[in-house]
Amino acid sequence: MMNYVKKNALPICIGIFLALLSFVYIRNIFHYNTYWAYDGGAHVEYIFTIVDEGRLPAPEENYLAWHEPLFYMTEAIKAHALMSLGFTREAVIYMLQFGSAIIGILFVVGSGALSYIVMKKKGLSFFVMIFTGFLYIVTATSRYITNELFFHMLTVWLLVLFFHWKMYERDLWNWKRWLSIILYLGVLVWIKLTAWVVVFALVLWLVLYSVLQKHWKGLLLAGLVFILVGAMYSPWLMYKHQVYGGAFTINSYETQKDMHMPLTFFVTWDNDILDYPFWDRGKDSFWSMFFASAFVDYDNVFENYESGEYERGKVLQSPNGRYLSIRSVANQSFLFWVSLPFTLLFLLGGVVWLVRTCKSRLSHKDMFLGILAFGFFASLVYNVWQYPFLERGTLKAIFILTFFPLIALLSIDSLQKITESWKYKTALYVLFWLYVIVWGVFSLNAIVLPA
């Protein structure tokens, strides 16, 4: 028995972790109302407009009407089927939230699977799963009904498919695999506009790969990917042009164009975030708001407002008018402070990855992941610059969930590579895992919603 446990220690740990994570994710949906979340009611109303009236919502009915419809149509099919069986609308909404929890678990598992397929390191894969699964914004997004998590879960599994097929090796290319990837991308762009970041990242990678390898078939593939995915997306572009008067916009609801976020916002750090990591502290810095919205409930939208803490009056009101329990403020503040070393590790590891990749003349198989991670991050920066309405949530880490497992994977792997020849590498690994355990405990304490 002991030999079996030693031999299978890591799979057992992964199994225990996923069981714990599943329990927490599923438990949380019973203590959270999807209407409290980012645009929570608008997502629900989009779905039930399709269920009740068999059509997409009009712009004057729903400010999310410009969102790509595939997620809402699939949810509407599930909702209609459940209501046909006699379930009430309230029960159906909680069932759809249960689906979000399952999607969140699939996102975490996909992140770990991607890490192992790319790097073949079990320990690194387990770390990526722990980091992704306990990351506050991932757990929070798994509580409510949204197209964000569905899109990112499918994106991670597209990457798993890409690396499982070893598409970074041209000798393994064939038309069936590329057609499957193109069709997959065609589905993604009908779920969320951010899918075009994935499309452009793949096109850019193909161009760079073809030039460096002097394999010009890749340029043809790049053109085909862009044209065919664009053709599959074109009906939605025509719909947007007809309804909104413009097809090429990243946000058909936010139409104000006469102002942009000042560039100083993107190159500063607001220390106020360290004292109180909630709205509206840190609002003078992109970096402060970004880290806070990833590691804690910066916008105060993921609290259980029906918990006993509220009944006992142990709450305070944040500057954006929402209430937070004092317990949540303490737990999340500690979590934010404990999470800061991750930002330093990821920044340092990212620089190491970039230097290593440049020295290899962009030949590493993980280059596509680096391009995609940068693309996601750049898209968030552009969104904030283009629509500087911070009080309306234009800086949300949930927009780029896939960025987090990618940066964790690439940066920690890069740091591990440079420490492989160090004399005291074992001690460093022990310290790293001790930190991960401490962070995991603080994170678990913060992500479990009080009843």
Q: What is the DSSP letter of 251?
A: -
Task: Give exposure, 111-133, as e/b (b: 16+ Cβ within 10 Å).
Answer: bbbbbbbbbebeebbbbbbbbbb
* Contact assessment for residue 51 and residue 79, using Cβ atoms and an 8 Å cutoff: yes
Indicate if the pLDDT at residue 229 is higher than 70: yes
Query: 301 near 257, Cβ under 8 Å?
Result: no
- CA 51 to CA 253: how far, in whole Å? 23
For residue 429, pLDDT over 60 is answered with yes
For residue range 288-305, list pLDDT tens digits in order.
Answer: 999 999 999 999 999 999
Residues contacting residue 193 through CB under 8 Å, at least 6 positions apart: 67, 68, 250
Least confident interval from 168-172, 193-197, 256-260, 306-310: 256-260
For residue 296, the cross-strand partners are none
Mapped onto helix, strand or coil, the DSSP state of residue 108 is helix
Distances (CA, A) of 428 to 415, 423, 431, 435, 439: 11, 10, 5, 11, 16
Q: Which two tokens stand for residue 433?
A: 């895992």
pLDDT digits (tens, 9 = 90+) for 38-95: 999 999 999 999 999 999 999 999 999 999 999 999 999 999 999 999 999 999 999 9
The mean per-residue pLDDT over the stretch 27-33 comes to 95
Contact 185, 199 (CB under 8 A): yes
- Provide the token pair at 112: 């770990």
Q: What confidence score (pLDDT) does residue 314 get?
A: 85
Q: What is the DSSP letter of 316?
A: E
What are the residues whose beta carbons fall under 8 Å from the beta carbon of 172, sequence distance 6 or more? 165, 166
Residue 128: what residue type? V
pTM of the model: 0.95
pLDDT at 186: 98
Question: What does each C-alpha distance from 344 to 160, 166, 400 come to in angstroms?
Answer: 27, 31, 19
Please give the full DSSP string across 422-450, using - where no structure is assigned: -TTHHHHHHHHHHHHHHHHHHHHHHHS--
Radius of gyration of the CA atoms of the chain, in A:
22
Q: What is the DSSP letter of 278?
A: S
Q: Distance (Å, rounded) from C-alpha 348 to C-alpha 330?
A: 29
Tokens coding 327: 């317990």
What are the pLDDT digits (tens) for 324-349? 899 999 999 999 999 999 999 999 99
217: amino acid identity, one letter: K
Q: For a pLDDT cut of 90, what percent of the chain falls above it?
A: 80
Distance CA 210, CA 222 (A): 9
Q: How far, in whole angstroms, is CA 279 from its chain's centroid?
A: 21
Which 8-state DSSP code applies to residue 56?
P
Between 413 and 5, residue with greater pLDDT: 413
Instruction: For residues 131 and 112, give the distance between their C-alpha atoms in angstroms, rounded to a whole number.
Output: 10
Model confidence pLDDT, tens digit, residues 385-405 = 998 888 888 899 999 999 999
**8 A C-beta contact, residue 312 and residue 288:** no
Distance CA 274, CA 245 (A): 44
Q: In the 3-class helix/strand/coil scheme, how is 375-420 assigned residue by residue?
A: HHHHHHHHHHHHCCCHHHCCCCHHHHCCHHHHHHHHHHHHHHHHHC
Q: How far apart are CA 154 and CA 160, in angstroms?
A: 10
CA–CA gap between residue 77 and residue 73 (Å, rounded) = 6
How many angstroms from the chain centroid is the CA of residue 329?
A: 23
